[in-house]
Structure 1
Amino acid sequence: MTKNELILAYLDIWNERDPGAREELMSSVLTEDSVYADPDYAGLRGHAELSAAIGRAHQSFGDLRFTLGTVLGTHHDNALFTWNLGTVATGYDAVEFSGDRIHKVVGFFA
């Protein structure tokens, strides 16, 4: 996958409501030792911690879905992009790639 395809697949992880299907996506998109942080989470490690947080988030989001805003830039093993959660929230994510998967995501709410 290209870096842009990985970013889109990462957003698909957040939109996936079935835990089993979400784990399959995670395995192809995120490294096993992936790290996730945003204003609500200091540092989730690995697929299980992130998947549990996504499951809790779905209870709050209702039917809202994440969509890609703009890929602001990519260089070397890094990318910065904007996202939308329906029409109610926007933010930025900085990602660090490791090989053909994402290793680290740091999210910011706008």
Structure 2
Amino acid sequence: MSTTDVILAYLDIWNERDDTARMTLMKSVLTEDSLYVDPNNVGLRGHAELSEVIGRMRAQVGEAKFTLGAVIGAHHGRALFTWRLGTVATGYDVVEFADGRIHSIVGFFV
């Protein structure tokens, strides 16, 4: 998978409403010990913690979907990209890869 493919698969996780399907996606995209941080969440570790937050967020934003804005740059196992959540929010994420999957995510809201 290319860097862009992995990022798109990561955004699919955020768009998935079904908890079981979301966990299946997470196993293929995120390392087991993945770390997630954004302005509202500090140190979510692993699939279960992130999935719980995503489930709550999905309930709040209705049908809004995450889309990729642009991959701004990628080097040395890291990538910076922009995203949009429908008309609700936009932001930037920095991801770090390990063995072809995402190991850490640091999100910023605009």
Q: Taking every aligned residue pair, what percent have the same amino acid on both sides?
A: 65
Question: 1:90 corresponds to which residue?
Answer: 90
Q: How does 1:2-13 map to 2 (within 5 A)?
A: 2-13=2-13
Q: How does 1:69-80 map to 2 (within 5 A)?
A: 69-80=69-80
Corresponding residue pairs, total: 110
Q: TM-score by structure 2 length?
A: 0.98
Alignment partners' CA distance in 2, 1:23 and 1:14: 11
Question: 2:15 corresponds to which residue?
Answer: 15
Moved over 2 A (4+): none
Structure 2 counterpart of 1:41, which letter? N
Question: 1:29 corresponds to which residue?
Answer: 29
Q: Secondary structure at the match of 1:25?
A: helix
Structure 2 unaligned runs (5+)?
none
Q: Secondary structure at the match of 2:60?
A: helix
Q: TM-score by structure 1 length?
A: 0.98
Question: 1:49 corresponds to which residue?
Answer: 49
Alignment partners' CA distance in 2, 1:32 and 1:93: 19
TM-aligned CA deviation for residue 101 of structure 1: 0.3
Alignment partners' CA distance in 1, 2:67 and 2:42: 23
Question: 1:67 corresponds to which residue?
Answer: 67
Structure 2 counterpart of 1:58, which letter? R
Q: Secondary structure at the match of 2:103?
A: strand
CA root-mean-square deviation:
0.5
Structure 1 unaligned runs (5+)?
none
